[in-house]
Structure 1
Amino acid sequence: MTHFKKIREHAIPSLQASVEEYLDPASGARHIHLANAGAEMAFLVAFPTVPDASDGRAHILEHLALCGSQRYPVRDPFFAMMRRSTATFMNAFTYADRTVYPFASTSEPDFFNLLDVYLDAAFFPKLDYLDFLQEGWRHGLEDGKLAYQGVVFNEMKGAFTDPMHALYQGIAGTLLPDTTYAFDSGGDPLVIPELTHAMLKEFHASHYHPSQAIFMTAGPISAEAIQRQIAERVLAQLPGAFPRRVPQLAEIPAAPRSNTVRIPSQEARDNEYGIQLAWLLGESADPRVALDAGLLTAGLLGDAAAPLTLAMETAGYGRPAQLNGHEDNARQMLFHLGMEGLTVDEVPLAQAHMWSALERVAETGVPPATLQAALRDLKYQQRDTRGGYVPNVLERLLAALPVAMREGDVVGAFDNEAVVAGLERDIADPDYFKNLVRGLLASSARLTTTVVPDAAYFTARDEAERARLAEAEAALGDADRARIQAESAALQARQQQPVETHLLPRIRPSDVSPAPRTLQALVPAGERAFAGSIASNGISYANVTFDVSAFPAADWPWLSLYAELRDDLGIVGSTYADAGAWRQRMVPSFSLELRATQSVTGALLLDLAFAASGLREEHANIATVLATYIGQPRFDEHDRLAFLIESKVENTLNGLAQAGNGYAALAAGAPFAPARQFLDATRGAGSLPFIGRIEQLAATAEGLATIAAELARVHAAVVASPSTILAGGSGDDGQVLAGLVAEQVATSVPATTGFAAAPSVTGALSTTAKETRPLANAALHAASQVNHCVIAWATPAVGHEDAGVLAVAAELLTHQALHTLLREEGGAYGGSASYAGDTGVFSMSSYRDPRLAGTYADFQAALDRVLATDYTDEQVEEAIISVIQGLDKPDAPWDGVRAAWQMGRRGVTPEIRQQFRRGVLGCTQDDVKRVVRAWLQGTPASRAAFAGNTEQDLAGLAVVDLLAETRR
């Protein structure tokens, strides 16, 4: 017997699913279930969290809720369950107006284990004071001086390195005043210390109640079974009902407003100003508001020929800003238009230029084909099964959640077919889109933001923090110091206590299959062509992949630049703008992907894939687009090249701090693996001198001609390389599409073109060649308030008998040593070890870390701890399950096709996969200690950190100024 009553059920044939909606009449709790036959079962519970301050209370509460609960009074049950479960996803998210606790699993017993833990965590958390000090913020004494510490405190210091964070908060604070959106839901580190433990507990009591909750689930599982557990664990214990919290609506102002927002910049160059126009539209839960906003984005900005994109890219100054188009983070939909890369004098010109472009569109409209393609894209997006960081089925729940929480029609959030059909009729009237644009022009709910770069942004925040600490320290008495020391000691003692994991449910190695999961079957579809039959909801996918492994290292940056720019350039007979508009009308998805992997023998494998996908009725279009972009390039639009390169350079320079973690990881691993060397040279700190070089070349006509010639040379070498066609779709759609693609590509790129004569890539390095590099010992520096630290070793790759044990060793190090040393005690947002079986690189790293030298000392301490500790069988088994969790995570259907082909390309045979899994499942504590001694302890290590400032102890690392690297 459950408390829930079914309200309605709605079938969605295009998804082969149905939406079931339930309500608990007593509390008002809602349960929305997406029933389907997929491999994964997903769950989330969400609460409206509407803070009225930027002290991070919603975010810190999200952390604390997962730090122990009534039925599971365990320190950190969330992280404990990550190693006791085969979950394909576990996390929690704080948004501007809601907090969400989601997970997914392919195992029904595991699903209900996690459901029990999540329900107790959300509704009955301990909210321990010491956890508040650890996860939120606390005072500490460092060398006798007062300092701030805390996981969320440091996490948000890292978040503030993103200029877009500052820009968005500046816009929301003015456009949405007197609403929760005017505050930083993650927390401003300058305000977080104003939050008290009592305030946090009150926030939980007022926001986390069944009457506020929305439960969402998906997969091949009974809604009633889930409801029984919710009723028993939650509803029976928390009676009563309270009015549901809904975020406030901002008032529509009588006249447009303006403001100025300062954003962090490394140099605050003269051309780093910007201008943003932002509009407040209707409620985002209204499907017509959402679709109209999507139409505005598609019609004004959707491709290179779209009027606002074209106007901004051809203005002769600046470029489109990163913040453009519609977004539904708030209860009211926002629409943004902006330009960046401006001088002070160009700001008013850019504003007038965008406004004039809008006025022209209001008079002339856009081609009907543009709007028809936008609606086609909506159908495609509803059917697309591809996933990312979050599994696809969970993505669907998360996308529908805001509509449910803002009291909209949640069925329409899953199935937009009826609304899209209505919109198809509406856009037949040429005035429909014009009126949408006229609405923007006439709206008083508009904000004009001048964006100012600030090289002193972090310095000012540091000074403000020091001033507050100095004020607090001046008021400290002996009793206060004693209290701080006592709390620090109590917290440290608690962190050293073993976690009583026996109270938590778990999956054991004996519960999982000894055999690797089955890969997607591929069938030949012609010469060097393969196809997969997948559950794709009527979408078809195709890749034409060129093996470019023979490119010498000197050409790697040019190859990467080619892959990045090619789809933004023209085709024979069409300008880049016309080509982009044509391609958008032809297919909903097109991209180039350059992938670096290694074979089981250690050979570098470089693959450049031209990829397109669309509805099954668009097979001919998919083949035509692929053949055209492969066989009919043009590189003679020099103004376009100059614009694209300037944008790339500026985005790279402005993003140095945000990219610091990746730069450090690639620099540390590059000495040990060809694939890491390639990535460092094309995406890491090693790419920065090339960035500086193309910036100089793009400044002159002769230099642009050189760039164009280099790109043409690279293209010739690419299409002369061996190629493979990979396709997938429902039934035999993949085979049919593979044949069409092969036919059209063969016509577009005849074998007699003579492309193989490209001189600088013929006779290239052997694919087994490996550049010998010295070990890294670098502190990569750009201005920031946090660090990212990495240490790496060369270890055997997959195929070696120790590979499985090394994977388990990484998990044991993470969960039994680094989590405590780096996160709980050190205050870093993240700390972990990882083993990359494809490259044989073993590493330990920290993320958004307030320390540097102390972290490197803790890396060594972690190795010592693993060798000195007598772990229980359960702790080793948890590490084993953590590895299995990654191995058994199902791929989205098309991703499974690509993964199966990639396994074969690398030479990873079924025998190698079985050997690796056997090594994982059979791993013992002695095995872990053996590989740590053999491959890590005392062996040469490569160290690279991103250092937010160079005044700290750098642990002997040599400073590398990232800005200076671009000027070499």
Structure 2
Amino acid sequence: MNIENLSAYEIVEKRHIDDLNSDSYLMRHKKTGARVAILSNDEENKVFAIGFRTPPKDSTGVAHIIEHTVLCGSEKYPIKDPFLELAKGSLNTFLNAMTFPDKTVYPVASCNDADFQNLMDVYLDAVFYPNIYKTDKIFSQEGWHYEMENDDSELTINGVVYNEMKGAFSSADDVLSREIQASLYPDITYGMESGGDPDVIPELTYEDYLDFHRKYYHPSNSYIYLYGNMDFVSKLDYIDKNYLSRFDRLDVDSKIERQEAFKEPKEIVKPYPILSEEKIDKNTYLSYNCSVGSTLDQKLYIAFDILDYALCSAPGAPIKKALIERGIGQDVYSEYDNGIQQPVFSIIAKNADASQKDEFVEVIRSVLKEQAENGIDKKALLAGLNYDEFKYREADFGRYPKGLLYGLQVFDSWLYDDNRPWINVEANATFAELKKEVQGRYFEELIEKYLLSNNHRTVLMLEPVPGLTDKKDEELKKKLADYKASLSAEEIAEIVKYTADLKEYQDTPDSPEDLKKIPLLELKDLKREAEKFIYEKKEENGVDILFHNIFTNGIVYLTFVFDLKNLDAKLIPYVSVLKKVIGMMDTENYSYGDLFNEINIKTGGITGTISTYTDSDDVTKFTTTLEVSVKVLHENLHDAFELVKEIITKTKLDDGRRLKEIFGEQYARLQSDLAAAGHQTSAVRAMSYVSPAAAVSDRTGGIGYFRHLEGLLSEIETSEGAKEISEKLKSLCNAIFRAENLLVDVTCSDKEYAGVPEESKLFADSLFTDDYEKVKFEIETSRRNEAFKTAGQVQYVCRAGNFASKGLKYNGALRVLKVMMGYDYLWKNIRVIGGAYGCMSSYAKNGDSAFVTYRDPNLKNSIDVFENASEYLKNFDEDERVILKYIIGAISDLDTPKTPAAKGTYGLSAYICNSKMDRIQRCRDELLGTTKETIRGLSKYVDAFMEDKCLCVIGSSEKIDSEKELFDNIEQLVNK
């Protein structure tokens, strides 16, 4: 049978989409009206997604809480957390769910046919037949609930989504994005917080929550997406017979209304929290925001992304340059959000002053008028176009399946027009048309229409309020205390009992019978052979080249690897500075703006990274490198070599003003990023106390580097300081960018390799040759416990250490331990019971290990959970089925399909680490051979790294101060 003969569905449209090399089908389920979109191709990484239009009418976070809770048990899979069981024991390449401002989407992906079917079935049962109607404890655990352990306890609020959103509302960048959307669309769904405002979440009742599911989670309001190489007939037949056909058509009012255009622009001021000790000067966000047409305008969808690049995002772009030169903000950038019905274009100055608001607007409008009247730089438009088109054609989304990203993009139009799902993923013709428009005035007219004459715009100012978090915490405490005081003894006893009942519910294991209802693969379904790395070491014309012969569809991936073995390790923070400034400053032949455009016209981009590679023979040894990577079509190979040569040998490093601008921009971004990714920041910092490799990471991108930047910003204020920094960077170039330090890493096919040896020789001959003082690269570490205060309401808690220093060798079963910890012991105690949004652990081959929490309401309680982990392992007594789940989960993480670029990176890492296939195979065999006894034996690895007692916490002042005896050092994360 073919798709056309499926009687349960009607075909709305069928055609081949050349751009995606796919046959597309747009279908509708006859009985319910469920919409179906299919992309059939030869991709083994299959994707399924079901989505619903879910426009919230308030900011209680009901859509977000539904997203969490439908995955907590269903009719066919009645255990408390099928999602968790799938994560433990599936070969999925993606498994998650997402709440957007107007939709909720449940996507899964897998390369294994049986696994894919299992994932799809569990998700379909979850959304249509969830257990949320059987008990309110699911709502309480994931959403919110009052909590009291006894009559004398303080009344508190807990819940996973509640704590997740407390974390989100602690981030100024997140607050800004939310307020921008609300400022432009105050009367429709986009004016609400779909994720939930922590101040409003406790207003959501259980009944209102159930009503939301009853209304929107129906096939008549559903969008089903399938992608890849599969038997679509059997999949659609299964979906119909087991799910869709069990429902009748329903008239669901889920239309996304449009905001009526403003008659006049608006100015809005909103607060955001900073610490009481922080200064308010140079700490304001200024934003100029415009509503831009419709996401159904296929041409505009891409065109404004190009304008975003040409006007503000690119270094040297006119608006960015004008604002920076006027001293308005340390970091100036623009954002284009086209994932909602009415897209938004914003220009943002971060770390500005409130007094600069009028000047900010005047500068923007002045530059926009000049660009509209005199014309945008054609080269900038072409560079933006080439960059976007390169990304589109390459379709490399790293670990994320490209079918998943296509699917999410399909929703950008499908949600608002049933018949147009493909308009934003079928883009070759649009790119061709826009290239022609560059020569005319199309882009200039867009500026006039949407950014100058458009009254549907706002100027939003986000002002810092010292101590706002503490004030709100105190207000909440008082409110809860007053509420408790108003309760009768019976009502208090009821809350205490419910708290105990909820904990008992969470502690009660699922029955073995119910657990077995979750489909599980067998050990024989798993690939036993480790993935081989691909590389060939060559010496061409005296240059070391590592060649990965892999089909890349005409793209050449080049990485220029420079070994830092002869560099004084004290200079490692300056290496990170150098990495940031090359390509961002004037060179002998280009201004920095022209250089950036030239790079994006001729290549797919140039990036710099600092990497550390552990030696497989001796894990106490590691190699640190500075790497410059470029991806390029083969016909532009010469240009790629020349451009990299230009930025590393001909950058004018003595422009103190430009250095100051770059430092300020980095500082402003790290200021937000370190706190927003507090789990990563705290883990790197904690491990840096005992691990030289982790110390490199901290001093090149973590808190150590942030402190270095603070010093540089002060130093560069004087001409002497600026000169000293400049001279240090010049000497670093001479010490690093030398032929004897160089390895040219190349990923492409034999055909595209032609020309690489000759270009590599010319490149090596152009590098620095002056004498310099060689010093052995050595990093000292010192153990300490630290806490870094933020204005946030949650914590990121990390305990770290190193097991290899205690004589233990890496075992492949540690990958199984990572799955176990993240989805069993830590999940249950940190997330389910503790209410944190996330928890994780890591065990590296060099012994670096960590337990970490994410958006955690607790601190000491989480450390206690870490302390008891070893005891849990020593008493581990689960059956073979449970262990098999963990093994499958570990293999899934290990076997995520690699893009051509990722295969090249895998080979490069194997070469520098001196890896051998027999060792890699041994680790895989250890993983696959994990037993109950193996897991019990892994307790010694946990004991070993916990013995180092490395603790780092990033979090609220109140929580840190209340546990100050745990720390040797407490300071603000941001020392303004």
Say which SS state the counterpart of residue 596 (structure 2) adopts: helix
TM-score by length of 2: 0.93
In the TM superposition, what are the counterparts of 1:153-164 in structure 2 within 5 Å? 153-164=162-173
Say which SS state the counterpart of residue 608 (structure 1) adopts: strand
In the alignment of these two chains, the number of paired residues is 953
Cross-structure match for 2:3: none
Cross-structure match for 1:420: 431
Q: Does 1:723 align with 2:742?
A: yes
Task: Mark the CA change 1:36 to 1:744 in structure 2 (over 3 Å): closer, same or farther.
Answer: farther
Question: In the TM superposition, what is the alpha-carbon distance from 1:950 to its structure 2 partner?
Answer: 4.3
Cross-structure match for 1:560: 576
Task: Mark the CA change 1:606 to 1:724 in structure 2 (over 3 Å): closer, same or farther.
Answer: same
Q: Does 1:925 align with 2:932?
A: yes
Q: Does 1:609 align with 2:623?
A: no
Question: In the TM superposition, what is the alpha-carbon distance from 1:158 to its structure 2 partner?
Answer: 0.8
Task: Give the Cα–Cα distance (whole angstroms) in 2 for the partners of residues 290 and 912 of structure 1.
Answer: 49
Contact 1:120–1:233 under 8 Å retained in 2: no
Task: Mark the CA change 1:583 to 1:688 in structure 2 (over 3 Å): closer, same or farther.
Answer: closer
Contact 1:522–1:532 under 8 Å retained in 2: yes
Q: Does 1:942 align with 2:957?
A: no
Task: Give the Cα–Cα distance (whole angstroms) in 1 for the partners of residues 321 and 494 of structure 2.
Answer: 62
User: Which of the residues 715, 729, 734 maps onto 1:711?
Assistant: 729
Task: Give the Cα–Cα distance (whole angstroms) in 1 for the partners of residues 62 and 210 of structure 2.
Answer: 9
Task: Give the Cα–Cα distance (whole angstroms) in 2 for the partners of residues 88 and 722 of structure 1.
Answer: 37
Task: Mark the CA change 1:833 to 1:374 in structure 2 (over 3 Å): closer, same or farther.
Answer: closer
RMSD over aligned CA atoms reads 2.4
Contact 2:787–2:971 under 8 Å retained in 1: no
Cross-structure match for 2:259: 250
Say which SS state the counterpart of residue 75 (structure 1) adopts: coil
User: Which of the residues 497, 503, 512 maps onto 2:526?
Assistant: 512
Cross-structure match for 1:211: 220
Contact 2:56–2:194 under 8 Å retained in 1: yes
Question: In the TM superposition, what is the alpha-carbon distance from 1:62 to its structure 2 partner?
Answer: 0.5
Stretch moving more, 890-899 or 628-637: 628-637
Cross-structure match for 1:367: 377
Task: Give the Cα–Cα distance (whole angstroms) in 2 for the partners of residues 309 and 391 of structure 1.
Answer: 34
Q: Does 1:754 align with 2:773?
A: no
Stretches of structure 1 that go unaligned for 5 or more consecutive residues are none
Cross-structure match for 1:742: 760
Stretch moving more, 58-67 or 350-359: 350-359
Task: Mark the CA change 1:518 to 1:7 in structure 2 (over 3 Å): closer, same or farther.
Answer: farther
Q: Does 1:193 align with 2:202?
A: yes
Q: Does 1:539 align with 2:547?
A: no
Say which SS state the counterpart of residue 803 (structure 1) adopts: coil
1:83-112: CA deviations, max 9, x gaps?
111111111111111111111111111100
Task: Give the Cα–Cα distance (whole angstroms) in 2 for the partners of residues 593 and 443 of structure 1.
Answer: 41
Task: Give the Cα–Cα distance (whole angstroms) in 1 for the partners of residues 655 and 719 of structure 2.
Answer: 11
Say which SS state the counterpart of residue 282 (structure 1) adopts: coil
User: Which of the residues 32, 36, 49 maps onto 1:31?
Assistant: 36
Contact 2:803–2:941 under 8 Å retained in 1: no
Stretch moving more, 706-715 or 219-228: 219-228
Task: Give the Cα–Cα distance (whole angstroms) in 2 for the partners of residues 513 and 688 of structure 1.
Answer: 43
Task: Give the Cα–Cα distance (whole angstroms) in 1 for the partners of residues 761 and 223 of structure 2.
Answer: 51
TM-score by length of 1: 0.94
Q: Does 1:551 align with 2:557?
A: no
Q: Does 1:292 align with 2:303?
A: yes
Question: In the TM superposition, what is the alpha-carbon distance from 1:294 to its structure 2 partner?
Answer: 1.8
Stretch moving more, 656-665 or 524-533: 524-533
Task: Give the Cα–Cα distance (whole angstroms) in 2 for the partners of residues 10 and 412 of structure 1.
Answer: 13
Q: Does 1:179 align with 2:194?
A: no
In the TM superposition, what are the counterparts of 1:946-957 in structure 2 within 5 Å? 946-951=954-959, 953-954=962-963, 956-957=965-966
Question: In the TM superposition, what is the alpha-carbon distance from 1:414 to its structure 2 partner?
Answer: 1.8
Stretch moving more, 497-506 or 464-473: 464-473
Cross-structure match for 2:832: 824
Stretches of structure 2 that go unaligned for 5 or more consecutive residues are 1-5
Task: Give the Cα–Cα distance (whole angstroms) in 2 for the partners of residues 955 and 238 of structure 1.
Answer: 57
Cross-structure match for 1:910: 917
Letter in 1 for 2:818: A
Q: Does 1:453 align with 2:464?
A: yes
Task: Give the Cα–Cα distance (whole angstroms) in 2 for the partners of residues 733 and 628 of structure 1.
Answer: 26
Letter in 1 for 2:747: G
Question: In the TM superposition, what is the alpha-carbon distance from 1:735 to its structure 2 partner?
Answer: 0.7
Task: Mark the CA change 1:345 to 1:671 in structure 2 (over 3 Å): closer, same or farther.
Answer: closer
Contact 2:678–2:854 under 8 Å retained in 1: no
Cross-structure match for 1:303: 314
User: Which of the residues 126, 138, 148 maps onto 1:141?
Assistant: 148
Say which SS state the counterpart of residue 412 (structure 2) adopts: helix
In the TM superposition, what are the counterparts of 1:176-575 in structure 2 within 5 Å? 176-243=185-252, 245-266=254-275, 267-322=278-333, 324-388=334-398, 390-407=400-417, 409-429=420-440, 431-439=441-449, 440-500=451-511, 501-520=515-534, 522=536, 524=538, 526=540, 527-575=543-591
Task: Mark the CA change 1:420 to 1:648 in structure 2 (over 3 Å): closer, same or farther.
Answer: closer
1:819-841: CA deviations, max 9, x gaps?
1111111111112332223x212
Contact 2:330–2:668 under 8 Å retained in 1: no
Question: In the TM superposition, what is the alpha-carbon distance from 1:518 to its structure 2 partner?
Answer: 3.5
User: Which of the residues 620, 635, 652 maps onto 1:634?
Assistant: 652
User: Which of the residues 105, 119, 122 maps onto 2:124?
Assistant: 119
Stretch moving more, 155-164 or 267-276: 267-276
Say which SS state the counterpart of residue 506 (structure 1) adopts: coil
Question: In the TM superposition, what is the alpha-carbon distance from 1:357 to its structure 2 partner?
Answer: 0.7
Question: In the TM superposition, what is the alpha-carbon distance from 1:746 to its structure 2 partner?
Answer: 3.2
Contact 2:383–2:597 under 8 Å retained in 1: no
Cross-structure match for 1:645: 663
Letter in 2 for 1:480: E
Task: Give the Cα–Cα distance (whole angstroms) in 2 for the partners of residues 764 and 397 of structure 1.
Answer: 50
Task: Mark the CA change 1:738 to 1:20 in structure 2 (over 3 Å): closer, same or farther.
Answer: farther
Cross-structure match for 2:46: 41
Question: In the TM superposition, what is the alpha-carbon distance from 1:964 to its structure 2 partner?
Answer: 7.4
Task: Give the Cα–Cα distance (whole angstroms) in 2 for the partners of residues 962 and 400 of structure 1.
Answer: 46
Stretch moving more, 8-17 or 192-201: 8-17
Question: In the TM superposition, what is the alpha-carbon distance from 1:948 to its structure 2 partner?
Answer: 1.5
Say which SS state the counterpart of residue 725 (structure 2) adopts: helix
Contact 2:557–2:631 under 8 Å retained in 1: yes
In the TM superposition, what are the counterparts of 1:641-680 in structure 2 within 5 Å? 641-680=659-698
Contact 1:779–1:954 under 8 Å retained in 2: no
Cross-structure match for 2:65: 60
1:787-820: CA deviations, max 9, x gaps?
1111123224999765113332333333332111
Question: In the TM superposition, what is the alpha-carbon distance from 1:656 to its structure 2 partner?
Answer: 4.9
Task: Give the Cα–Cα distance (whole angstroms) in 1 for the partners of residues 568 and 123 of structure 2.
Answer: 51
Question: In the TM superposition, what is the alpha-carbon distance from 1:498 to its structure 2 partner?
Answer: 1.6
Q: Does 1:809 align with 2:798?
A: no
Question: In the TM superposition, what is the alpha-carbon distance from 1:570 to its structure 2 partner?
Answer: 1.9
Task: Give the Cα–Cα distance (whole angstroms) in 2 for the partners of residues 772 and 198 of structure 1.
Answer: 55
1:666-724: CA deviations, max 9, x gaps?
12212343221111222223334312221211111111111111111111111125212
1:522-570: CA deviations, max 9, x gaps?
5748342233344434433222111224333201101111112222112
Task: Give the Cα–Cα distance (whole angstroms) in 2 for the partners of residues 189 and 919 of structure 1.
Answer: 45
Letter in 1 for 2:654: D
Task: Give the Cα–Cα distance (whole angstroms) in 1 for the partners of residues 550 and 682 of structure 2.
Answer: 38
Task: Mark the CA change 1:607 to 1:414 in structure 2 (over 3 Å): closer, same or farther.
Answer: same
Task: Mark the CA change 1:662 to 1:331 in structure 2 (over 3 Å): closer, same or farther.
Answer: same
Stretch moving more, 362-371 or 887-896: 362-371
1:307-360: CA deviations, max 9, x gaps?
2122223224424435x1321242101111122332233222222111111111
Contact 2:93–2:896 under 8 Å retained in 1: yes
Task: Give the Cα–Cα distance (whole angstroms) in 2 for the partners of residues 963 and 849 of structure 1.
Answer: 18
Letter in 1 for 2:409: A
Letter in 1 for 2:256: P
Letter in 1 for 2:630: A
Say which SS state the counterpart of residue 688 (structure 2) adopts: helix
Question: In the TM superposition, what is the alpha-carbon distance from 1:599 to its structure 2 partner?
Answer: 1.7
Cross-structure match for 1:685: 703
Say which SS state the counterpart of residue 843 (structure 1) adopts: strand
Task: Give the Cα–Cα distance (whole angstroms) in 1 for the partners of residues 390 and 973 of structure 2.
Answer: 45
